Amino acid sequence: MRILVTGGAGFIGSQFVRGLLTRGTDQVTVLDALTYAGNPANLAPVADRPGYTFVHGDIRDAGTVDEVMPGHDAVVHFAAESHVDRSITGAAPFVSTNVLGTQVLLDAAHRHGVARFVHISTDEVYGSIDEGAWTESQPLAPSSPYSASKAGADLLALAYHRTHGMDVVITRCSNNYGPYQYPEKLIPLFVTRLLDGGRVPLYGDGGHIREWLHVEDHCRGVELVLHKGRPGEIYHIGGGTELTNRELVDRLLAACGADWSRVDHVADRKGHDRRYALCSDKIRDELGFVPQVDFETGLAQTVAWYAEHREWWSRHADR
Ligand X SMILES: NC(=O)c1ccc[n+]([C@@H]2O[C@H](COP(=O)([O-])OP(=O)(O)OC[C@H]3O[C@@H](n4cnc5c(N)ncnc54)[C@H](O)[C@@H]3O)[C@@H](O)[C@H]2O)c1
Query: By CB under 6 A, which span of 56-64, 200-208, 259-267, 282-290 interacts with ligand X?
Result: 56-64
| Residue 145 within binding range of ligand X, rule CB under 6 A | no
Neighbours of 304 (CB within 10 A): 13
Secondary structure class of 147 (helix, strand, coil): helix
| Residue 175 within binding range of ligand X, rule CB under 6 A | yes
Q: What does the per-residue mask of binding to ligand X show for 182-201, with x meaning CB under 6 A?
A: x-------------------
d(CA 167, CA 114): 9
Quick one: 166 or 183, whose CB is closer to ligand X? 183
Neighbours of 247 (CB within 10 A): 14
Minimum distance from CB of 13 to ligand X (Å)? Answer: 5
Phi-psi region of 102 (alpha: psi -120 to 50; beta: other; left: phi over 0): alpha
| Residue 245 within binding range of ligand X, rule CB under 6 A | no
Q: Are strands 209-214 and 241-244 parallel, antiparallel or unpaired?
A: antiparallel
- 107 classed as catalytic: no
d(CA 284, CA 291): 9
Quick one: 41 or 254, whose CB is closer to ligand X? 41
- 81 classed as catalytic: no
| Residue 134 within binding range of ligand X, rule CB under 6 A | no
- 123 classed as catalytic: yes
| Residue 101 within binding range of ligand X, rule CB under 6 A | yes
Please enumerate in sequence order all residues whose Cβ is within 8 A of that of 69, keeping only pairs 6 or more positions apart, or say none. 4, 75, 105, 108, 109, 111, 112, 114
The catalytic residue among 26, 32, 58, 123 is 123
Q: Closest by alpha carbon to 118, among 261, 247, 12? A: 12
Minimum distance from CB of 174 to ligand X (Å)? Answer: 7
Secondary structure class of 46 (helix, strand, coil): helix
Element (H, E) at 203: strand 200-203
Count of residues that bind ligand X according to CB under 6 A: 30
Q: What does the per-residue mask of binding to ligand X show for 79-98, with x meaning CB under 6 A?
A: xxxx--------------x-
Minimum distance from CB of 35 to ligand X (Å)? Answer: 4
User: Hey, which residues are catalytic here?
Assistant: 123-124, 146
Q: Report the interface residues with ligand X, using CB under 6 A.
A: 6-7, 9-13, 32-35, 37-38, 58-60, 78-82, 97, 101, 120, 122, 150, 173, 175-176, 182
